[in-house]
């Protein structure tokens, strides 16, 4: 699994080379507001979802405090408000060379902040075409004797496109969608500054980890990759497409469930990987398969593949603490220097939901609830998925 603390270390290191970013979508005084993407509605088993990030940057000398954000749809009804602890919990601040910690969202000169927006919609609720924001910003004079509050309006168009539809990336059942889409997933919060821009390639990423019917992902010595149910499983092309990149030179991490030490740099974070270009809806999408076994990749750049074709085997390489398949879809041909987009699976069987995992030790509580066929949705965090009837070979009888 990709570790959020390590990504924060990478974030701080990359800030050293990040040029000043001054978005120009909306300004009042020296505060600028933008987003990393135009949100695209994505269906889940509970209804549609809109996910995006608000980016604030203060280029002026007067500190500006963001106190409240209200979000409304086409009908002007309040969809969500961020203030107080909810605002702080769903945001972070940064300055030139480091992250900034505080219990209020106050931006001094050349400081920026991101607010993670999570808008779940009811199954009966249509996605809005536009989102209207009201943002309460407090500024004070130099001796803190006078505070002024301005309410800023910021409008954002919703992307009307449909997400790409994919086939199964794996065979078998009891696949846990670990760290899949959720408000506080470490994937959701993995914004990285690369070459002068911010990217969130992992916005909708999933770490696929397989468990057995007894609720465990590993049997025997957990420090041996071979004892993990997922290790070595075939990884499949999720659609017809073309291989654009591959890497197959990194050894497995051989002491699960520990992360490698020293930690890999940004270029080595995905471990061995393949990128598959898929064309749908008149656009190209790039599917990343990360942490693959060394020597297992069966394709090369330029190869045309068919949906269901085996492209490699699940491993434990790169910034990974245990055998799993990291998968995400982006708009660009790069593992991390690209923007993450939602995707849905054509059809799968929902077996339930794993309630918890114990510090990557592979000790899962068994799923609960009846099996249910779901179509054209993205899995939510810890949902347990049945892709096919392929028998598991590493589970106790």
Q: State the first-to-last Cα distance of the chain, in angstroms, to the nearest integer.
A: 28
Q: In the prediction, which pLDDT does 122 show?
A: 85
**Residue among 326, 91, 331 at smallest CA distance from 230:** 326
Read off the pLDDT of residues 116-163 as tens digits, 9 standing for 90 and up: 999 999 888 899 999 999 999 998 766 666 778 999 999 999 999 999
Q: Distance between CA 86 and CA 68 in Å, rounded? A: 10
Please write the tens of the pLDDT for every residue from 78-92.
999 999 999 999 999
In the predicted model, residues of the chain with pLDDT beneath 50 are 4-5, 9, 16-27, 360
Query: Residue 316 and residue 293: Cα distance in Å, rounded?
Result: 7
Q: 211 lies in which domain range? A: 165-386
Examine the domain organization and report whether 182 and 281 are in the same domain: yes
Final residue belonging to a domain, choices 126, 157, 188: 157
Any domain includes 393 = no
For residue 1, what are its two tokens?
């699994």
- The CATH number given to whatever domain includes residue 77 is 2.60.40.1470
Give me the chain's average pLDDT, please. 89
Q: Determine the Cα–Cα distance for residues 173 and 15; give it in Å rounded to an integer.
A: 41
Looking at residue 11, its pLDDT comes to 54
Q: Are strands 64-72 and 105-107 parallel, antiparallel or unpaired?
A: antiparallel
CATH of the domain at 278: 2.70.70.10
User: Is residue 150 located within the same domain as residue 237?
Assistant: no
> Residue 238 and residue 278: Cα distance in Å, rounded?
9
The pLDDT assigned to 26 comes to 35
Q: Look at residue 356 in the predicted model and tell me its pLDDT.
A: 64
Reading the block at residue 238, the tokens are 């999720």
């Amino acid at each position: 699994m990709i570790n959020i603390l390590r990504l924060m270390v990478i974030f701080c290191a990359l800030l050293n080379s990040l040029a000043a970013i001054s978005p120009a979508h909306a300004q009042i005084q020296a505060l600028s507001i933008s987003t990393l993407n135009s949100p695209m509605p994505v269906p889940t088993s509970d209804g549609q979802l809109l996910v995006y990030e608000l980016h604030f940057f203060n280029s002026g000398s007067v500190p500006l405090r963001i106190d409240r954000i209200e979000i409304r749809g086409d009908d002007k009804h309040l969809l969500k408000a961020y203030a107080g602890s909810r605002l702080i919990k769903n945001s972070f601040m940064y300055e030139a060379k480091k992250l900034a910690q505080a219990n209020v969202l106050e931006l001094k000169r050349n400081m920026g902040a991101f607010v993670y927006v999570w808008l779940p919609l009811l199954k009966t609720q249509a996605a809005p075409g536009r989102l209207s924001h009201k943002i309460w910003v407090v500024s004070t004079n130099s001796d803190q004797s006078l505070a002024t509050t301005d309410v800023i309006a910021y409008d954002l168009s919703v992307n009307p496109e449909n997400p790409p539809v994919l086939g199964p990336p794996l065979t078998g059942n009891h696949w846990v969608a670990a760290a899949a889409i959720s408000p506080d997933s470490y994937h959701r919060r993995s914004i990285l500054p690369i070459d002068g821009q911010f990217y969130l390639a992992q916005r909708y990423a999933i770490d696929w980890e397989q468990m057995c019917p007894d609720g465990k992902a590993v049997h025997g010595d957990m420090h041996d990759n071979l004892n993990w149910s997922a290790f070595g499983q075939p990884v499949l092309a999720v659609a017809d497409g073309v291989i654009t990149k591959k890497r197959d030179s990194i050894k497995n991490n051989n002491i699960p469930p520990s992360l490698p030490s020293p930690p890999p740099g940004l270029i080595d974070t995905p471990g061995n990987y393949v990128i598959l270009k898929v064309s749908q809806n008149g656009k190209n999408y790039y599917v990343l398969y990360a942490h693959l076994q060394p020597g297992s990749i069966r394709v090369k750049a330029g190869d045309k593949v068919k949906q269901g074709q085996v492209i490699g085997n699940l491993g434990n390489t790169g910034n990974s603490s245990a055998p799993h398949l990291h998968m995400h879809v982006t708009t660009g041909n790069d593992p991390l220097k690209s923007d993450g987009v939602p995707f849905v699976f054509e059809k799968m069987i929902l077996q339930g939901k794993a309630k918890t995992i114990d510090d990557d030790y592979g000790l899962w509580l068994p799923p609960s609830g009846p099996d249910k066929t779901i179509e054209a949705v993205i899995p939510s965090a810890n949902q347990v998925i049945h892709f096919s009837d392929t028998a598991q070979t590493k589970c106790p009888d």
